[in-house]
Amino acid sequence: MEIDRLSRYERDVKKMVKKRKLTQKEIDDTEILFLKDKYIKSLRYHPITCKKDKQRHSLTIPNTQYRILFSAKLFETQRFKIGIKNSKTESKRV
């Protein structure tokens, strides 16, 4: 499995770390947990209904209000394009 980090995702992570809303360790740990086993209960992995992207999924960063949104695009290897959102301030529609 491979993760393609979009430039927007990298920028959002950098801003959240700078504003001390999240730590880089929390984000990295979540990605590592996901790569090991995406069905760990604390990640709350689930698909999202989206008109534009039928492969949209969500992960919760454990013990925070933030989640990682990503698209699972299947090629020869499984790849994920990811983004990060605040689950309390963002609307449920993506």
What is the chain's pLDDT, residue by residue, as a tens digit (94 residues)? 677 777 888 888 899 899 998 999 999 999 889 888 888 999 999 998 888 878 888 889 999 988 888 887 654 445 556 666 666 555 444 4
Q: What is the CATH number of the domain that holds 80?
A: 3.30.2310.20
Q: What is the pLDDT of residue 82?
A: 62
Q: Give how many domains the chain has, as a whole number.
A: 1
Query: Is 91 contained in some domain?
Result: no
Tell me how far the alpha carbon of residue 2 is from its chain's centroid: 13
What SS3 class is residue 84? strand
What SS3 class is residue 36? helix
**Structure-block tokens of residue 45:** 């992995």
Instruction: Indicate whether this model's pTM tops 0.75.
Output: no
- d(CA 52, CA 38) in angstroms, rounded, equals 23
Query: Is 50 contained in some domain?
Result: yes
What SS3 class is residue 73? strand
- d(CA 28, CA 23) in angstroms, rounded, equals 9
